Amino acid sequence: MPPDSVDFINLSGKIQLISLLENMQQKSTVQEYIDYCEYCLHIVRHGIEISYCEVMDFIGVGNDTVPAEISIEVRFLLEMFDHISMSLAKLPKADAQNTVLECYTNFCGFETALNFHLSAYIFLVRTYQTRVPIFKESLPITLRHYREMMLKYERYKRNEYLTDEMIKDICVRRDQQIQFAL
């Protein structure tokens, strides 16, 4: 194990990790972050081995690093869905409901094979850099769909709010999703 890596097995490694987590907790003003630090401290103090990887991911020393291009792609994707959500809230209720019925307007998560994308999403959520939740609809949208949406979104992203027609142009229509996947 490299000299600067965290070791849960020996006492000095645990003390080092507890100190790091307590420091992270004290520097934060966000209650959920403070609570999550406390959760990680509990894992380390009580030796809950099954959750060690979760603590390692939280402090940023997981085994695999997420490539920068994937982090950027996930951040842009979530910004797009946040913009769509805010725009839907500004539309007349009937127009917004019609758009939601016609199109996938919510972020549906990633396929299980996209570990790096999911890791980047989890990091952004845990560090409060995004507020876009995952809406599970049997995962109807793939990374290929998301990328198509981002290409279309590119021409509209400078608008403060998107119109219902812009949203329909960007989002995958529910009746076309199956054809697009083929």
Torsion, Cα of 159, 163, 164, 170 (10° steps): -20
pLDDT reading at 178 higher than 80: no
pTM of the full structure: 0.62
Rounded to an integer, the average pLDDT of 56-63 is: 70
Residue 137: per-residue pLDDT: 60
The answer, yes or no, to whether residue 55 has pLDDT greater than 80, is yes
- 138: three-class secondary structure by DSSP: coil
Three-class DSSP category at 162: coil
Percentage of residues in the chain having pLDDT higher than 70:
82
Confidence (pLDDT) at 73: 93
Closest CA to 141 of 165, 105, 102, 95: 105
* Residue with the larger pLDDT of the pair 64 and 71: 71
Instruction: List, for residues 85-103, the tens digit of each pLDDT value.
Output: 999 999 999 999 999 999 9
State yes or no: pLDDT of 40 exceeds 60. yes
- How much is the average pLDDT of 5-12? 60
Domains in the chain: boundaries: 11-59, 68-181
Q: DSSP for 86-118?
A: HHHHHS-HHHHHHHHHHB--S-----TT-HHHH
Indicate whether 28 pLDDT > 60: yes
pLDDT at 1: 38
Q: Residue 153 contacts by C-beta under 8 Å, 6 or more apart in sequence? A: 80, 83, 170
Greater pLDDT, 136 or 51:
51
Backbone Cα Rg of the chain:
20
